[in-house]
Amino acid sequence: MKLICNVDVYNRLSSLAINIRQRKPQKSCLIIGKQSKENDEVYLILQTKSNKIGVKYKINNNIKKIFTKFVDEGKASFRIIEPSHDINIQCDPIQLKSFLHVLKLILLKKFTSPLSTLSDYNKKSINIVPKTKIIISKVLDYPTLKGFPKITEQLYLCGLQRKSFDCQILKLHNLKILNLSQNQLTNLPQELGMLPNLQELSLSDNQFGKCPISKWSWMNGSNITKTLRSLNLSCNKLTKIPDEISKLHALLSLNINNNLISSLPEGIGNLKKLKYLNISKNNITNLPGSMTNLRLYELDISENSFQINNDNTISVCDIKISCLVDLAAQVVIKTRIYYDASIIPFTLIQYLDKAHYCMCGVPCFNSFMRKFMPMNLSTITNSIRFSGISGNNILFDCYFCSFKCLRRYFLCV
């Protein structure tokens, strides 16, 4: 049995310290194995990058005590009788508990499974870099009881037809990539938004079209709004993209192709870092005017139902003096102040999330003008993929916060 961990070895006879003494924990590999096929004596081998041959410790009648008080934190210590060493270990708690379980069975002489011999471990094949990428593509391989190592950075749970989210994932604070595609998920827990390092999230080929509005609150998480760079919601039979998506300020890539969406949330133009947008194979008829503030590298709008309308009339004109609530809401959105239901009433959250966005970028609430305007897509993207559209002209649903903005954009078009 092998355990990848950080190890600090302390020589209790410090005045007679030998070369194994370490100043700080080193990435190491602990191995339990027999001396040989002929000799059943069991040893513990400690290997490091600088010492691949390793230091060998006899196990039976040579371990005075095992300290496990902090095992839930991934810490344990072995007190070796000869030589007088304390081996301090720190690693993933789940793997550590399994390792300690085997060791205790050996000490009690109750371990019945065959152990590999020390000669079976080729020192050139020893890899003391912990496994941070987990790929599970078969239901039988899913670690239902064992769980995932806390050091996991990439987790792929694809094609398992899972109907519920595994809350063990919420403990993976090092997680950067999470792929849950080809399952039957309908929602995600709010706590997902609190993962501190999540950068890529793939939810394609699930059933999020059945997700109620209240179950998209994970997008409000104080961490995910700052870290998530790639989101894939393709093939989910979505009829609407939640307004909360405008809070994912670090988003670089958004894929929502092959759904049933008829319009995009107006706040999508608030994603200033967005560079790749795929909205192909939907029922979209126009784009929100706030998208004119984006500068994309690639835009795919093929296989949609875009309309061209050259009518210059203003469909809505409701300009009035802004109230204090509107002015305060504008400040919150423009300065990107974080808010959720624990800070402000839920009705105010809905008020903020339903903001319209002027072509100048200012959020509008009760005072605005609305007009549908055909505009050329080349002004917002370098590369366009489209079908059935003439001259790249798409109808934009535009809002204006004042007559000044309206006149300025009329002159630009």
Reduced to 3 states (helix: H, G, I; strand: E, B; else coil), residue 102 is helix
Whether the predicted pLDDT of 124 surpasses 60:
no
CATH number of the 2-125 domain:
2.30.29.30
Most confident of 30-44, 81-95, 107-121: 81-95
DSSP code at position 117: B
* Residue 17's pLDDT band (cuts 50, 70, 90): very low
Q: What is the pLDDT of residue 356?
A: 87
Domain 133-312+375-396 fold: 3.80.10
Query: Pairing relation of β-strands 393-400 and 154-157?
Result: unpaired
**What is the pLDDT of the chain when averaged over all its residues?**
85
pLDDT tens, 170-216? 999 999 999 999 999 999 999 999 999 999 999 999 999 999 888 89
DSSP of 46-87, one letter per residue? Answer: EEESS-SS-EEEE-TTTEEEEE-TTGGGTEEEEEESSS-EEE
The phi-psi region of residue 110 (left if phi > 0; otherwise alpha if psi is between -120 and 50; otherwise beta) is alpha
Q: What are the contacts of 54-57 at 24+ separation with CB within 8 A?
A: 54/29, 54/123, 55/20, 56/118, 57/83, 57/85, 57/87
Is the pLDDT at 86 greater than 60, yes or no? yes
Pairing of strands 230-232, 200-202: parallel
Tell me which amino acid residue 276 is.
Y
Q: What percent of the chain has pLDDT over 90?
A: 34
Strands 200-202 and 177-179: parallel
Burial class (CB in 10 A: 0-12, 13-18, 19+), 332: middle
- Please give the average per-residue pLDDT across 284-293, as a whole number: 90
Mean pLDDT of 21-38: 75
DSSP string covering 315-339: SEEE--PPPHHHHHHHHHHHTT---
3-state secondary structure 22-44: CCCCEEEEEEEEECCCCCCCEEE
How much is the pLDDT for 391?
A: 54
Q: Residue 359 burial (CB < 10 Å; 0-12/13-18/19+)?
A: buried
What confidence score (pLDDT) does residue 50 get? 78
Q: CATH 2.30.29.30: which residues of the chain? A: 2-125
Place of tokens 């050259």: 310
The boundaries of every CATH 3.80.10.10 domain in the chain are: 133-312+375-396
pLDDT range class, residue 126, cuts 50, 70, 90 = low
Q: How would you class 7 by CB atoms within 10 Å of its CB: exposed for 0-12, middle for 13-18, buried for 19 or more?
A: buried
Please tell me the distance from the alpha carbon of residue 247 to that of residue 73, in angstroms, as a whole number. 34
Separation CA 109–CA 115 (nearest Å): 13
- Which tens digit of pLDDT belongs to each residue from 181-190? 999 999 999 9
Residues 6+ apart with CB under 8 A from 301: 279, 280, 284, 287, 377, 384, 385, 386, 389, 394
State yes or no: pLDDT of 313 exceeds 50: yes
Please report the beta strands in 185-262, taking only residues with DSSP state E, as ranges in sequence order. Answer: 200-202, 230-232, 253-255
316-329 burial, b at 16+ Cβ within 10 Å, e below that, comes to eeeeeebeeebeeb
SS3 at position 45: strand
CB 159 within 8 Å of CB 135 = no
Over 90: is that where the pLDDT of 299 sits?
Answer: yes
Work out whether strand 356-357 and strand 253-255 pair parallel, antiparallel, or are unpaired. Answer: unpaired
Supply the pLDDT for residue 353.
Answer: 83
DSSP characters over 342-405: TTS-HHHHHHHHT-EEBTTS-EESSSEEEEEEEEEGGGTEEEEE-SS-STTEEEEEEEESSHHH
User: Rounded to an integer, what distance in angstroms lies between the CA atom of residue 327 and that of residue 333?
Assistant: 10
At residue 411, the pLDDT reads: 57
